[in-house]
Chain A
Amino acid sequence: MNRNRILFWTCILVGMICILSSLYLQNLYILRVAVFAVIAAMLAVSVNLLVGYTGQVSLGQAGFYGIGAYTVGLLTTQWHWSFWLALLAAFILTSLTGLILGLPTTQLKGHFLGIATLGFGIIVNVIFNNWTSLTGGPNGIRGIAPPELFGISLQYENYFLGFSLFCLMVVVLMVHLVVNSAIGRAWKCIRHDEISAQVSGINVYGYKLMAFSLSGGIAGIAGGLYAGFMTFISPETFDLNQSITIITTAILGGPGTLFGPLVGAGVLTVLSESLRALNELRLIIYRAILVTVIVFLPEGIYPFISKKLRKRGIASQLKLKDRRRELDEQDFSQS
Chain B
Amino acid sequence: MLEIQGLRSGYGDITVLQGVSLNVNSGEIVGILGANGVGKTTLLKTISNLIKTRAGTINYQGKNLTHVPPSKLLNLGIAHVPQGRNIFSKMTVAENLHVGLDNVKKRVNPQEQLDYALALFPKLKERWNQLGGTLSGGEQQMLAIARALVTKPSLLILDEPSMGLAPIIVRSVFNAVKKIAQDGTTILLVEQNAVAALNVIDRLYVMDMGRMVYESQEMNDNELEKIKEVYLGAG
Give chain A's interface residues, CB within 8 Å of chain B: 182, 185-186, 188-189, 192-193, 195-204, 320, 323-324, 327-328, 330-332, 334-335
Contact = CB atoms under 8 A, between A and B. Distances in A.
B139 A201 contact: no
A199 B135 contact: no
Q: How large is the interface on B (under 10, 10 to 19, 20 to 34, 35 or more residues)?
A: 35 or more
28 contacts: A192-B91, A193-B88, A195-B86, A196-B82, A196-B86, A198-B48, A198-B50, A198-B70, A199-B48, A199-B73, A199-B86, A200-B103, A201-B100, A201-B103, A201-B151, A202-B103, A204-B71, A323-B134, A324-B134, A324-B135, A324-B136, A328-B137, A331-B136, A331-B137, A331-B165, A331-B166, A331-B168, A335-B166
Nearest to A327: B136
Interface in B61-107: 69-75, 79-82, 86-91, 95, 98-100, 102-104
Contact of B131 (A199, A320, A330, A335): A320
B79 A320 contact: no
B211 interface: no
Contact of A320 (B73, B74, B134): B134
Complex A-B, nearest 8 residue pairs according to Cβ-Cβ distance, in ascending order: A327-B136, A201-B103, A335-B168, A201-B74, A196-B86, A198-B70, A331-B166, A203-B71
A323 B90 CA distance: 15
B147 interface: yes
Contacts of A192: 88-91
B138 A331 contact: yes
A320 B134 CA distance: 5
Given A327-B136, A331-B168, A185 B82 contact: no
B169 A335 contact: yes
A334 B139 CA distance: 14
B167 interface: yes
Contacts of A203: 69, 71-72
A73 to B, nearest CB: 41
Contacts of A182: 102
B133 interface: yes
A185 B71 CA distance: 15
A198 B166 contact: no
A52 B80 CA distance: 28
Interface string B179-212: 0000000000000000000000000000000000
A240 B100 CA distance: 40
A195 B95 CA distance: 17
Contacts of B103: 200-202
Contacts of B75: 201
The secondary structure that dominates the A interface is helix
A200 to B, nearest CB: 5
Given A185-B99, A189-B88, A331-B166, 13 more contacts: A185-B91, A186-B102, A188-B88, A192-B88, A192-B90, A195-B50, A199-B48, A200-B147, A201-B151, A203-B72, A327-B136, A332-B166, A334-B166
Contacts of B82: 195-196, 199
A320 B135 CA distance: 9
A139 to B, nearest CB: 49
Contacts of B88: 188-189, 192-193, 196
Interface string B114-143: 000000000000000001011111110000
Contacts of A335: 166-169
Given A195-B82, A330-B136, A185 B166 contact: no
Interface string B38-72: 00000000001010000000000000000001111
Nearest to B70: A198
A201 B90 CA distance: 19
A197 B102 CA distance: 12
Given A320-B134, A324-B133, A331-B136, A202 B81 contact: no
Contact of A199 (B79, B91, B102, B134): B79
Nearest to A203: B71
B166 A196 contact: no
B137 A193 contact: no
B52 to A, nearest CB: 13
A195 B159 CA distance: 13
Contacts of A202: 71, 99, 102-103
B34 to A, nearest CB: 21
A334 B168 contact: yes
Q: Which of A182, A201, A203, A324 has the most B CB atoms < 10 Å from its CB?
A: A201
Nearest to B144: A196
A201 B137 contact: no
Q: Which of B73, B95, B166, B168 has the most A CB atoms < 10 Å from its CB?
A: B166
A199 B81 contact: yes
A197 B75 CA distance: 15
Given A182-B102, A185-B98, A328 B90 contact: no
A182 B134 CA distance: 23
